[in-house]
């Protein structure tokens, strides 16, 4: 009787052990699946962030090049008009200097695409805030003057140089102020993007 009882106990203990082993094994597989899914999701997120930064960097570097050209032109025009007005005598505006208002062609297609697909929200602060400020300044800058006014300004500078120069000088000053602010922001954004790339590379190396 005791032997039968011992076999019964042993059977239940063995059954319990097998059941526990199967449960733990299934739990481990489930945890592995969850971990793998989480790793894949994190990897996909990092790839999205990397691509987003690369696209933004390329777009903003192009804009920075355009901005540098327009700032140089506006600064020369502003200084020239200021010097002519300081003479306090009638002057003829050097027509060869006038190339139109030369508003920089600043792109924002990548910014709008990333904003529409919610990818900007993946970027760490303060980069999204900086990018929003950049976009706002770009809009202000490109909206200062319409290309259609270029010919009008040319005619005014030729017919009434002193009056036209006084009217044009504040607009050129506004251009220069916004361009300086935007150039500074571009530099800050470039630094944030490059710094985040270095941080990511160091983390990968540590692993």
DSSP 56-106: HHHHHHHHHHHHHHHHHHHHHHHHHHHHHHHT-S-----GGG---------
Of residues 185, 203, 62, the one with CA closest to residue 131: 185
Q: Tell which wins on pLDDT, 65 or 3.
A: 65
Please enumerate in sequence order all residues whose Cβ is within 8 A of that of 126, keeping only pairs 6 or more positions apart, or say none: 192
24-81 residue pLDDT tens? 666 655 665 556 666 666 677 678 788 888 889 999 999 999 999 999 999 999 999 9
Average the pLDDT over each of 8-12, 76-80, 162-166 and give the range with the smallest value. 8-12
Query: Can you give the residue ranges of every domain in the chain?
Result: 42-206
Average the pLDDT over each of 12-21, 156-165, 185-194 and give the range with the smallest value. 12-21
124-158 residue pLDDT tens? 888 899 999 999 999 999 999 888 888 899 899 88
Mean of the per-residue pLDDT values of the chain: 82
Instruction: Compute the average pLDDT of residues 180-194.
Output: 93
94-104 residue pLDDT tens? 878 888 899 99
Instruction: Compute the average pLDDT of residues 113-127.
Output: 87
> pLDDT category, 22, cuts 50, 70, 90?
low
**How far is CA 198 from each of CA 24, 32, 59, 183, rounded to the nearest angstrom?**
41, 30, 20, 23
DSSP 124: P
Provide the pLDDT for residue 176. Answer: 96
Provide the pLDDT for residue 204. Answer: 41
Please enumerate in sequence order all residues whose Cβ is within 8 A of that of 197, keeping only pairs 6 or more positions apart, or say none: 53
Alpha-carbon distance of 170 to 92, in angstroms, equals 19
Provide the pLDDT for residue 49. Answer: 81
């Amino acid at each position: 009787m005791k032997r039968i009882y011992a076999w019964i106990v042993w059977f239940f203990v063995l059954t319990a052990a097998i059941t526990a082993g199967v449960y733990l094994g299934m739990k481990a597989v489930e945890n592995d699946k969850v971990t793998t899914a989480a790793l894949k999701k994190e990897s996909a997120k990092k790839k999205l962030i990397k691509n987003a930064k690369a696209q933004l960097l390329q777009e903003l570097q192009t804009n920075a090049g355009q901005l540098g050209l327009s700032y140089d032109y506006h600064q020369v025009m502003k200084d020239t008009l200021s010097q002519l007005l300081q003479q306090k005598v009638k002057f003829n505006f050097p027509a060869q200097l006038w190339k139109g208002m030369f508003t920089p062609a600043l792109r924002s297609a990548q910014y709008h695409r990333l904003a529409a697909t919610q990818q900007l929200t993946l970027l760490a602060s303060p980069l999204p805030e900086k990018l929003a400020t950049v976009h706002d300044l770009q809009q202000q800058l490109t909206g200062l003057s319409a290309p259609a006014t270029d010919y009008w300004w040319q005619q005014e500078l030729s017919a009434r140089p002193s009056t036209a120069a006084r009217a044009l000088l504040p607009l050129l000053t506004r251009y220069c102020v916004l361009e300086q602010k935007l150039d500074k922001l571009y530099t800050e954004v470039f630094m944030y993007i490059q710094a985040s790339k270095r941080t990511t590379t160091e983390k990968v190396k540590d692993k």
